């Protein structure tokens, strides 16, 4: 699935991949991605704490 709403996608997915210019630059379980500070800031709109 390709989805613009990263939060929704991570809530139902088991794995996630981040593509940049057609290349996989990050991958892991959805749970790992939800906890990743870079993902939370860049794709989920959360501020770094």
Q: What is the pTM of this model?
A: 0.73
* Cα atoms found within 13 Å of the Cα of residue 38, Cβ hemisphere only: 4
Spatial separation of the C-alpha atoms in residues 23 and 48, rounded to whole Å: 25
What is the domain partition of the chain in residue ranges?
6-42
Q: What is the pLDDT of residues 1-49, one digit of tens each?
A: 778 888 999 999 999 999 889 999 999 999 999 999 988 898 888 876 6
């Amino acid at each position: 699935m390709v989805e613009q709403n990263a939060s929704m996608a991570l809530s139902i997915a088991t794995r996630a991949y981040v593509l940049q210019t057609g290349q996989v630059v990050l991958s892991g379980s959805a749970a790992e991605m939800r906890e990743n500070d870079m993902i939370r800031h860049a794709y989920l709109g959360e501020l770094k704490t």
